[in-house]
Structure 1
Amino acid sequence: MTRRPFIRSLLRAFTGTASTLAAAALLTGPASAQSAFSPAILVNDSAVSYYELDQRARLLAIMNAPGDPGKLAREQLIDDRLKLQAARLTGIAATDEGIQNGLDNFAARINMNIDDLVQALSGEGIDEETLRDFIISNITWSGVVQSRFGGNAQVSEEEIDRAIAQNSGSGGVRVLLNEIIIPLTPQNQRQVLSLAEQLSELTSFESFENAARTYSAAATKAEGGRVDWMNVTNLPAELRPVVTALRPGEVSRPLPLPNAVALFQLRDVAETGRSTPTYSAVDYMKYYLPGGRTEENLAKANELAGSLDRCDDLFAIAQDQPAEILVRETQAPNEIPQDVALELAKLDDNEASYNLTTADGQNLILLMLCGRTAQLAEEISREDVAQALRNQRLESYANSYLSQLRAQARIIEK
């Protein structure tokens, strides 16, 4: 097998696990002066060597995943150590049979047997042990999550009925939410995740709204995080089961967003009595105001939002400006960045908001919803829906638990 077809196949195989894999680049700089087996990171006294970072880099670099490759490689290996430590405390270990099945299944996803995959990886300078370590981490973590949260992931027949109605458009459901959005940076990560865990335990509307006024960076901060009524089908798909599983007054687990963490409290839920479609595509525009969230930009964005009748009006506004100032996107709901998707969920067609900035804060974003394309109804299996709800619930528990482990861990990076 030549190198390029192998890389293309491997990229396709990794697409389904993008949330658990991160791209990495080969180590450079200070690491080159260290022994390959010197500790690069200590995670609760468990070492990650420069050799492991280099190997993970070689494995993940061929994926061409977005983001800073060096940082992502380190984050992935820190998470692996925390997962394995949690597994040991729970008394869970991967069996030889389980590891072999994991390797075989992984290879089968790219239409290879494990021997050919190991040989192809070797040609890229990647040891078999690197792939085995990745498989072991995922197997043991799955066992930890099932052991700790499996009993809490059961879904009722009523929840299945509601999910089918919400996702097929056979019944309309609206929700009234409170939100807290807290910015997340490498410097404040531990403090923010720890705070988010505490806020998720709030039980009253008053306490949540006070917390929103204190900690939230969303535009709803001054109103205690209050969001107007919205159709559940407008929400990002991964958020729907989280919201619909809540009872009035309950708060979601902390949910990761790009550069932020979010919590939602359900205030009320209502049946609309009419069908509400799900959507196959969302058409929206982003107009960037350089300078970020300045008073001048906020005033300009407010003026524009009040004067625009439809999305095409933005083309006239952006005339004679650099092309990158105005971006139009038509994406499937699951392709939209979650912070953008949440903001779009609050908008009607040809309505605009200016609550978001780019990740670096250098541009204020005037976001405008142009329209949604309804999805044709398909027959839905109750068992498929139930399994999807269980998996989403387990994933939410797993992400929250991993965030908690990170917040409590002693992590020293060389």
Structure 2
Amino acid sequence: MRRTRIRLSAAFIVGAAALFSATAVPTTPAAATEVRWVVNNQAVTSYDIERRAALLRLMRRGGNVNELAAEEMVEQTLRQQEMARLNVPVTDEMVDNAYNNFASSNNMTVAQLDQILAESGVTKQHFKDFIRTQIGWGQVVRARQRSSDSLTEQDVVQRMLQQGGQKPTAMEYRLQRVIFVIPSSQRSALLAKRKREAQSMRDRFQGCDNTVEFAKGLVDVTVRDMGRVLGPELPAEWKDQVANTSPGNATPVRETEHGVEFIGVCSARQVSDDHVAKLVFEDQETGDETMEQLSEQIMTELRERSRIIKR
């Protein structure tokens, strides 16, 4: 079975505004939905396969699109089951951010992307499920890589010698996390208000020294000192924002499962030591080709221990 790439490609929507009208797929009525595959007692339906076939047409994939769609949906189901088994966290915020970034990177509004996906027969929900699986599966593969291929001190020394004995450097940040808490039961009612409050504080942020005192005058605001964090250790959803924020300033406000928050960058400096060397060299080991091979290996293992039945 063909392997789906780990990384979410942004290329296939290029020119999609003209493409969707030619590839529109009528939505199948719910009554006509049939179970086509059963993967560990979980159904893959004709509706699922038709949505994926529409996505593959939008991606301009060749070959037997319906057959490829069925293969991809079986594989996606296996991946989702493994993500659930490992409790891989993929929040709605992460999916929404990826969806919105996908639209903007292709010079579209979110509404335009919604329309393209609806009129092509893909649907917004199917594409978001695809995104969620891509994000989560990447975490599964990276976790396996870290657990099975951690560099030893001898490995690090060898890599340094290959680079002329030079230790690599990385940015070390001192960070504060400022959270405007929203109870889940009040999220819809309070979200817009809390965003405005967070944006107001973020606009006045001038460093980390007075953040705690300033927050004392606000309702349900938590300031967490994250201490010193190396660039390679930053969570993926923060990494680019932190790297693009100068010391004494704060990252853009964003929605999270806790409410609305931003990260204050207290300071940043380049450091070089054994721990940094290990992190940097391990990061270099996780190239696309290596990750793709590991992804295929994990998928082979999942298939061998799974019960997959074609109806």
User: TM-score, length-normalised on structure 2?
Assistant: 0.48
Which has the larger helix fraction?
2
Which structure has the higher relative contact order (CA within 8 Å, separation 6+)?
Answer: 2
TM-score by length of 1: 0.37
